[in-house]
């Protein structure tokens, strides 16, 4: 792919504080907003057609040319790029405007509880949605969900950042499906080592409860979680991070997709219907060095057996949920072997 002579590049020596300060002015924000409104993505979707100084000034309606030029120059090289043809928004400038349009910089929106019609993957009770502080929560009103940690709402099944714009013109189940699509779009690149927020490098780790013993409610007293193995992804640059179940990793593996598809189950459709990745699974750590995990995925009398393996840099306690699992830092799981056997 060819790159234009004015392609995006990092500006050295600029701190986040300095960049934030550039936006602390009404005229500068108005400049970005006006450039967004003047830009036509249909006519120039990739390079963002250059806009003239006079057109931008007229749209912002600033009479003092010198004052306008000063504020425009402050945005240059960071949120605006000046070329021979004129001025255009940089990716950073687009992100600022899109954040406003998404609602993440406006007044908070809260929704107490919306019934989804989707059953809980643990107990079958109809789940509810809650929206609070720019986060979407999928909750079970009847069981603990994934964890009993007091860091999460009771009955937690899923939680992730979700812009208020995602609530517009959607019923509860439509919000859930939009949220799941948004969530999958965020987690997929992280499993490939790319941050969905800044494109920075992502470190993968594996969180394991070594002595996992579920109590009557299905939650282990040691780790406070239902499942014994979780995956942790952290961006080295912007610190964006996600922790999700091993099932999320398995959901995209070709042997898993093929196993269920051959038995009439499209995992993507099932995800939409149940808000759950796989039907059920058993996973155990069979070796510590290298970290080796054996997984069983049963379905209608057949079982898909998977072997997962990785090396790691270090181990340490992982107290995020208040429990005592271990985190294997720098571990990156891969499927080493698989077979289908009959369980009839």
CATH number at residue 57: 1.10.10.10
278 with 251: CB under 8 angstroms?
yes
Q: Are residues 328 and 213 in the same domain?
A: yes
338 confidence band (pLDDT: 50, 70, 90): very high
What's the pLDDT tens digit per position in 174-202?
999 999 999 999 999 999 999 999 899 99
User: Quick one: pLDDT at residue 78?
Assistant: 87
Q: Are residues 241 and 325 in the same domain?
A: yes
The number of folded domains in the chain is 3
147 within domain boundaries: yes
Domain boundary among 82, 102, 122: 102
pTM (predicted TM-score) = 0.79
User: Quick one: pLDDT at residue 46?
Assistant: 53
User: Quick one: pLDDT at residue 41?
Assistant: 62
User: Quick one: pLDDT at residue 20?
Assistant: 76
Q: Are residues 50 and 177 in the same domain?
A: no
User: Quick one: pLDDT at residue 9?
Assistant: 41
261 within domain boundaries: yes
234 within domain boundaries: yes
What is the domain range of residue 143?
Answer: 111-189
263 within domain boundaries: yes
Q: Which long-range contacts (CB under 8 A, 24 or more apart) does 3-7 make?
A: 4/47, 6/81, 6/83
CA distance 281 to 87: 54
User: Quick one: pLDDT at residue 335?
Assistant: 96
160 within domain boundaries: yes
Domain boundary among 189, 214, 249: 189
Taken in order 36, 39, 44, 49, the sign of the CA dihedral is negative
Domain boundary among 163, 189, 215: 189
């Amino acid at each position: 792919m060819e790159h234009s002579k004015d392609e995006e590049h990092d500006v050295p020596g600029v701190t986040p504080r300095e960049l934030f300060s550039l936006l602390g002015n009404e005229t500068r924000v108005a400049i970005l907003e006006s450039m967004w409104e003047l830009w036509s993505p249909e006519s120039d979707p990739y390079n963002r057609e250059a806009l003239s100084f006079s057109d931008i000034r007229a749209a912002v309606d600033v009479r003092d040319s010198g004052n306008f030029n000063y504020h425009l120059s402050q945005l240059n090289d960071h949120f605006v790029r000046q070329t021979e043809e004129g001025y255009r928004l940089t990716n950073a400038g687009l992100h600022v405007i899109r954040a406003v349009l998404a609602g993440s910089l406006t007044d908070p929106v809260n929704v107490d509880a919306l019934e989804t019609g989707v059953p809980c993957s643990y107990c079958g009770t109809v789940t509810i949605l809650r929206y609070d502080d720019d986060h979407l929560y999928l909750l079970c009103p009847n069981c603990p969900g994934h964890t009993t940690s007091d860091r999460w709402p009771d009955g937690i099944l899923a939680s992730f950042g979700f812009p208020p714009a995602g609530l517009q013109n959607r019923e509860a189940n439509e919000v859930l499906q939009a949220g799941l699509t948004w969530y999958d779009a965020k987690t997929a690149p992280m499993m490939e080592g790319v941050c969905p927020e800044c494109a920075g490098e992502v470190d993968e780790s594996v969180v394991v409860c070594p002595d996992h013993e579920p109590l009557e409610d299905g939650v282990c007293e040691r780790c406070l979680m239902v499942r014994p193995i979780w995956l942790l992804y952290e961006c080295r640059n912007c610190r964006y991070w996600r922790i999700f179940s091993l099932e999320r990793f398995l959901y995209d593996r070709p042997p898993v997709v093929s196993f269920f598809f051959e038995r009439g189950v499209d995992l993507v459709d099932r995800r939409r219907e149940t808000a759950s990745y796989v039907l059920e699974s058993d996973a155990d750590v069979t070796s510590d060095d290298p970290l080796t995990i054996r997984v069983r995925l049963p379905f209608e009398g057949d079982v898909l057996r998977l072997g997962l393996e990785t090396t790691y840099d270090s181990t340490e306690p992982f107290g995020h949920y208040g429990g005592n699992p271990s985190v294997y830092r720098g571990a990156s799981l891969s499927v080493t072997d698989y077979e289908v056997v009959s369980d009839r």
